[in-house]
Amino acid sequence: MNGTGGDFTVKARIAVFVSGGGTNLQALFDACANRRIVSGEIKLVISSRDGAYALERARARGIPAVVCSLDECGSRAALEDKISAHLEEHRIELIVLAGYMSILSPDFVSRWPERIINVHPSLIPAFCGAGYYGLRVHKEALERGVKITGATVHFVNEIPDGGKIIAQKAVCVYEGDTPESLQRRVMEQAEWVLLPRAVEEISKTVIEKRWRHCDD
Closest C-alpha to 192, from 36, 87, 41 = 36
- DSSP bridge pairs for 153: 119, 167
Q: How much is the pLDDT for 157?
A: 96
Report yes or no: 126 and 171 within 8 Å, Cβ to Cβ.
no
Is 120 catalytic? The answer is: yes
**Burial of 84 from C-beta contacts in 10 A (0-12 / 13-18 / 19+):** middle
pLDDT of 213 reads 65
CB 11 within 8 A of CB 211: no
The DSSP letter of residue 105 is P
pLDDT tens for 66-89 read 999 998 998 999 999 999 999 999
- pLDDT of 159-210, one tens digit each? 999 999 999 999 999 999 999 999 999 999 999 999 999 999 999 999 998 8
Catalytic, out of 90, 120, 138, 154 = 120
Q: Which tens digits make up the pLDDT trace of 121-152?
A: 999 999 999 999 999 999 999 999 999 999 99
Neighbours of 87 (CB within 10 A): 19
pLDDT at 5 over 70: no
The tens digit of pLDDT for each residue in 7-52 reads 445 899 999 999 999 999 999 999 999 999 999 999 999 999 999 9
Q: Which domains does the chain have, with CATH numbers?
A: 12-215 (3.40.50.170)
Phi, psi of 18 (to 5 degrees): -135, 170
CB contact at 8 A, 10 and 207: yes
* pTM > 0.85: yes
Q: What is the pLDDT of residues 115-127, one digit of tens each?
A: 999 999 999 999 9
User: Looking at the predicted structure, is the pLDDT value of residue 216 above 80?
Assistant: no
